[in-house]
Structures are given as structure tokens and as C-alpha cells.
Amino acid sequence: MAVKIYHGDILFTPAADRMEIHENSYIIVEDGVVSQICEKIPETYNGVEIVDYGDKLIIPAFSDLHVHGAQYVQRGIGMDCLLSDWLNHYTFPQESRFQSMEYAKNCYDAFVDEMILHGTFHANVFATIHRDATNYLFDKMEEKGMYGYVGKVNMDCNSPEFLIETTEESLNETEKYLAAHEGSKKIKTILAPRFAPTCSEKLITGLGKLAEKYHCGVHTHLVESIWEAQEALKLFPGYGSDAEIYERAGLMDHGPSIFAHVIFPSEEDKRIMKKHGSISVHCPDATVNIIAGIMPLQQMASENLKIAIGSDLAGGHGLAIYRQVARAVQLSKLKEFYEPNESKTITITQAFYHATKEAGSVFGKVGSFETGYAFNALVIDNMEDPWTKITAQEKLERFCYTGDDRNIRARYIDGELLK
């Protein structure tokens, strides 16, 4: 058994209201999995090499539960547009270029490298409708050792002619994609209907059958704006909620159901999500850039709905999930200021929990340092001015608000140091 020991200030959040802080401690990792944390190394580990990170922070790596890999090249531009202009002038033409494998490779290589640079080792990614390019992204994330879900996008109506499939094409291409990756380990396929307004009922029903056959979950946008919520119900008459569209098709029975934004959930949406253990993904910067409102995060969490954090590149403009942790705290303050009866302010501890342990739960045991969790970890450096002391938790808070990739001194996946 391969044993390694790391020394530093170890922080993680076993619960939304609890940051565990082990200053000047050791974390013992056996075969890439956390065995224990201690202030003094037990005698049984005598002779094991210790990697000493001094008073640097050792924290769990981040999960990004909603990100459009293909929108990487449009990050931080077109932000003056309203949603429809942004989709028609930037996003749709941009996604259509993924017919070209050369273009796709350039984009996905840079995208995956930048996720890892920012300490995101677990990601749930929307690709595009193009199967070949989606396969490339899948393989790239696998090659890098990431944990993830990758979805080939489906859209068979209300879409531009240069970015649309027939229902049959969409189902056939999706099945080929799922079949090609059966039995994959850390990277898995997921179904990714863009959202109800661009998917016919026949397509959604067909995807439900594929979910059963290939044991797949679903990743889509849910009640992400007032427009989307209304449009979904108009296009799916006889359905009582946006979530019911996916539930009735059987898309929530065979794997994780991951819903982006969830800004205006009805009681029925919440009931269905709770029943299926779905996870809602808060994407703070995107929600402001594409101005849809603010998720009632604290309220939903208090009702035991699962919450994760996402970058939603390129509605969001950056891939750093630690920055979205800070932004989630900020937006919760604005939410309470403007809608005090809807949701309350959250703490940095809660935001960090959603971005690590709770988000990580869809990938297995990642996002925490409790015994049995993968040692997927970041070492954080240089968060303190040399002439004044701050606490370990303050260093973590400062990293989320002001740090960048230069402060990530080392990266570990399954106990292996990334070079």
C-alpha cells in the first residue's frame, strides 16, 4: 500500500455550517485516499515520507457542476448584450464551429487545462451537439485524470438552422456517444438536452429511454429565467412544472439529475427535485451577466435541497470556482437586501461546502477530507502579508475573494501530484 503524509493547515467542510480546521497537522493518505488527520503521526507510520507544506493551506479541490466547455472562447465578451442577442450573435455561431475537430481540439485543450489550473478537478460539462468533438472532450478530461460528466447537447427545435438536429439524428448520435463510453470510470456520459424550449417532447421521451438503457443521469437548465419557465410550460402543455418534463420521461431515475440556475423553482419543482435527490447549481456571475435574478440558495438549502456551485462559462466569465464561492456570499447579501422574505445571507463556510463536498457528492467521495475521500487537494500559498498574522480560515476567505492560480502551489488528484 502506498502511503504518503502531508503537513500543513488542513481545512474542509463536512457540513454546510461547519469548517473543520486542523492547523499544523498531518493528513495521511493511503493509495490516494484520506486515512486520517492527526496532530502527531502514529508510530505505525514511522519512516513514511512527509511532504511539509508549513503553514500553507491544504483544501479539497473544487467541483464545477455547470460549465459550457465550448463557450470557453467567448468568455468575458458580449456582456453588454441581452440574452437573445448574446445567444444569436455569440453563443450559437460559436458552438456551430465545433463541427471542425481542429477548432474543437484547440478550444477543449485550453478549457481543460484552465479548469485544472484553477483547481477544478471534477466537472459536469455541456459540450455541443457534435459527437466527435464531444468524444474528444471526454477523452481529454479522462487523460488528465479528472472526475466528470460530459454531455453531448440535444436541440431539435427553436434553434438556428446551423445548430440543430432532427429528433432522429439527435437520438441516434446520442446513443452512439453513450455506447462508445460504456464502462468508463472517472469520466462518465450524461444526457444534456439544452433546455425545454429547444427540445421536442419526442426527443425528451427518447432520451428517457436512453437513460434507462445506458444508466445515465441528466444535466440541463431549469427555471433559469421567468421567460424559460413560462416557455417550457407553453411548449409542454399538460406538464405542471419544468422539472416534471424530465421526471415524466424517466430522466431522473438512472443517475444524477443536475439542474443549472433554478432561480424560480415552484413548489412542484422542489418536490420533484427532492424526491430524486437532484442537485441545483448556483452560478453567481452568470446569473448577473445574463441577468435573470438570484437563486434563493439559503432558502432552498434549508429545505434540504442539494446545492452546488458552477461557473457557467461563458454566461459566467471565469472558470475559477473559488471566486464563485465568494460571489455566492455576495449575491446572497443582495438577495436578502432586495427580497428579505425569499432567502437570507450565507457564510463563506456554507458557500465553500456547496462548491466542494456537496457538489463533489455526484462524483463519489471527493470534495472533503473525511476518511475514505479521495485526496483531491490544493495547496494554497501566499495569502498572508509578512508583517501581520491572519487565521487559517481568513486565508481561505482571502483566497476565494482575491486569490488566483498563482496562489495554488500544488495540485493532487487521487494522491498524485500534478506536474
Positions in the binding site for a copy of itself (CB under 8 A): 73, 75-80, 103, 106-107, 110, 285, 288-289, 291, 293, 317-318, 326, 329-331, 333-334, 336-338, 345, 347-348, 385-388, 390, 394, 397-398, 400-402, 404
All three cell numbers of 200, joined, read 421536442
| Least CB distance to a copy of itself at residue 62 (A) | 17
| Least CB distance to a copy of itself at residue 292 (A) | 8
- Of 21 and 48, which has the nearer Cβ to a copy of itself? 21
| Least CB distance to a copy of itself at residue 172 (A) | 30
- Of 204 and 329, which has the nearer Cβ to a copy of itself? 329
Instruction: Write the CB contacts of 388 (distance below 8 Å, at least 6 apart in sequence).
Output: none
- Find how far residue 99's CA is from the centre of its chain: 25
Phi and psi at 343, nearest 5°, equal: -165, 155
| Least CB distance to a copy of itself at residue 83 (A) | 11
All three cell numbers of 59, joined, read 483544501
Residues 236 and 332: their CA atoms lie apart, in Å, by: 32
- Of 321 and 374, which has the nearer Cβ to a copy of itself? 321
Residues 388 and 380: their CA atoms lie apart, in Å, by: 18
| Least CB distance to a copy of itself at residue 272 (A) | 27
| Least CB distance to a copy of itself at residue 74 (A) | 9
- Of 278 and 298, which has the nearer Cβ to a copy of itself? 298
- Of 280 and 311, which has the nearer Cβ to a copy of itself? 311
- Of 260 and 263, which has the nearer Cβ to a copy of itself? 263
